[in-house]
Structure 1
């Protein structure tokens, strides 16, 4: 039943139940990851497996037909998916964010219709970042009224997940300059999607261009950007951190396997067999610690997001505002910890492997390339300053963004 309260609910899921449902799908996705990376094969089938398993409904409350997962549980799952295939995990970032937005919004017939779409398997891709060096302060994508509907015109880049999507979540401005999000059918006239992402990592996330030329948008699919869920920017960033933590775990997994395959050791090593060499074991221990640190930081940070959502459920705006500040600081801290862990692990793992570790058959460099690409989305160089300014001067980290809910990168 529709009303003024949101569809958010406190979590009711048990994580082991979630893992039992989705873990086998993740394992199946992992089986072909290496070959897809080698051939830049887009994982259409793998994304569909997750849609069919109803991964897109993981945050929807059980009483509405979903699984009732917490944010912490959701990002833990995304980390495990990231370890299986970081491209597939990244593709889900925009979909899960829009689900969260519709759960956060007051219940209306339009919001209920979106929840039914999610339950039915509709998948959402992204489109917030302006092409041609546009910024959030100078949005060039326009949304104009035309009769009983709207039309969308403009160009986006980093349109992650677009080629897999039924709908595209696009940021535009109305004629009076109001930032607005529009949900556009991906296969309709006036929508053009291009696979022109040239990054050296995350090559199959469909993060290229999206061009809109008078694309039709219905009234019920238009939402003021100022009304998006308050922790949207933190959610987007946490999704990236979850994938990074997954890559760090995959590096440990693949590093251990590669070390076990080594048939000989160097003459000046400390053991005849590589797996008995204390220095090589030390390298694996360092990678393991990095993975543990990334996972722990993600767990602690995502728990703060659940506290923000809990304040929304309680209708406590003052607590929500306070938790948002805490969430920004926790997310910045986690970003610093997780990026450092991922980049260190994906680099030092080669010290345990010798020349055989750089074989293109193993493609272990994909872990560094994928981690470095994800780490570049929202530069960590600023985060230490933001955290330090908060500690010393009580500077409000939420005041840094042009859009109240935070940027999407």
Structure 2
């Protein structure tokens, strides 16, 4: 049923016959496909279980090993795989709609799986059939991949300090230190950005349990505290040469894809904040003498604030779905054997992602701030954890500077300059 038809249907019902639960479950809009609700029904009961303990886990710093295992057990980590390999044949828009729902339950989990889903795209578009078959089998078996790319500190902006080398026996090993290793503590494999044997940028995938791999939960950010985005050490880890991947072999729409995961998580946080503030206002009995109504839930100014928050979360979700459609086109272009088409679709996906970043960030940062305007000073009680929405959104939004994305979009709009395919961060050369 389209949104227009649904609205007409709503108008034909009496208030007595109208189920509030039905409205609430549909008010975020229809899913990205006709089968979406059927697909999502495989995961929603588990999302509900995850949501139940999310606040306590954050307050007590309980790492979500168990919850991530639940997601593996129900096949969430193999969403994009073909059904023939135990997957769900999920499209990119379907995946991102589900990431929003998971983020609404616990925003740490989709970020912990961000690189896993990105690596899955590498596998799906790979022209190396041996690599593809090997990794489809592993992902189908529930194995996941974490990240170890950024190095922090004094890494060069041009080259990774983490590098491959041959030992005295001629075996290839990887040595180095990484930071922002999101999800690797929970993963079976770690995707490590390296300088390869030729001195060029590449990556290698190693098992988390391999000798010499050490991952530390020392992420000290004020948000997204359970993503295990801390330090990883690679102490001369033996490398399987088949798992060395040149940069050119990675999926080409990765920059837009990884950014949209962050925006989907921010959107999920907006939905969760909407739920919490709505419940708090509905139950609130304390009020002010200069309020507009006896009960807070009937005060038009308070209802205006709640409506603004919900509208922000809805708008963010609509934008994410639109960008996900662009990513789906970029994915399909990878199989058309048309380099120009592929480059065009990749550029469009990056531009759509970039021009969405500031809008979504501003919408939900503001929503996570004004929710306190609908409540009283008691809403700042740490036990309620309402501050976590702003902290988590702000942390996610800080990963990729939106000011640069605005400039890139403006440069394209004015001068037709295409966005960069990839970018790096590190120490610049000394003057």
TM-score, normalised relative to structure 2? 0.88
Structure 2 unaligned residues grouped into runs of 5+: 1-31, 426-431
C-alpha separation between the residues in 2 aligned to 1:323 and 1:272?
A: 55
2:237 paired with 1:212? no
For residue 399 of structure 1, report the CA deviation from its aligned partner: 5.3
What is the correspondence of 1:80-91 to structure 2 with a 5 Å cutoff?
80-91=101-112
SS at match of 2:334: helix
Name the structure 1 match of 2:17. none
CA–CA distance in structure 2, aligned partners of residues 51 and 150 of structure 1? 32
Aligned counterpart, 2:56? 35
Provide the secondary structure at the position in 2 that maps to 1:298.
helix
Residue 213 of structure 1 deviates from its aligned partner by: 1.2
Q: 2:420 is paired with a residue of what secondary structure?
A: helix
In structure 1, what is the equivalent of residue 193 of structure 2? Answer: 171
Picking from 145, 150, 159, the partner of 2:166 is: 145
Give the direction of change, closer, same or farther, for the CA distance of 1:399–1:99 in structure 2 (3 Å limit). Answer: closer
Q: 1:280-325 CA distances to partner (integer Å, 9 max, x unpaired)?
A: 0000011011101110110111110001011112222211111111
Quote how far apart the aligned CAs of 1:13 are: 8.8
Task: Tell me if the contact between 2:102 and 2:268 (Cα under 8 Å) persists in the aligned partners.
Answer: yes
Residue in structure 2 matching 1:303, options 325, 331, 336: 325
Residue matched to 2:15:
none
1:15 aligned to 36, 43, 51, which one? 36
Deviation at 1:216, TM superposition (A): 1.1
Name the structure 1 match of 2:208.
Answer: 186
- More moved, 107-116 vs 168-177: 107-116
Give a deviation string over 1:363-383, Cα, whole Å, max 9, x none: 100010000000000011112
Look up the match of 2:96. Answer: 75
- The alignment of Structure 1 onto Structure 2 pairs a total of residues equal to 393
Within the alignment, does 1:99 sit opposite 2:159 as a pair? Answer: no
| Superposition CA RMSD, Å | 1.7
Q: Structure 1 unaligned runs (5+)?
A: 1-10, 404-409
1:169–1:385 Cα change, 3 Å:
same
- Contact persistence 1:13–1:69 (CA under 8 A): no
Structure 1 residues 189 and 400: CA distance shift in structure 2, 3 A: closer
Asked if structure 2 preserves the Cα contact closer than 8 Å seen for 1:149 and 1:219, the reply is no
Aligned to 2:256: 234
SS of corresponding position for 2:151: coil
Cα distance, 1:85 vs structure 2:
0.2
- What is the CA–CA distance in structure 2 between the aligned matches of 1:177 and 1:125, rounded to whole Å? 24
Alignment of 1:312-327 (within 5 A): 312-327=334-349
Q: Does 1:375 align with 2:397?
A: yes
Pick which of 229-238 and 151-160 moved more: 229-238
Structure number with greater Rg is: 2
- Partner of residue 397 from structure 1, selected from 413, 416, 419: 419
Whether 2:293 is the aligned partner of 1:271: answer: yes
Change (3 A) 1:399 1:83: closer
1:255 maps to what in 2?
277
Q: 1:78 Cα deviation (Å)?
A: 0.5
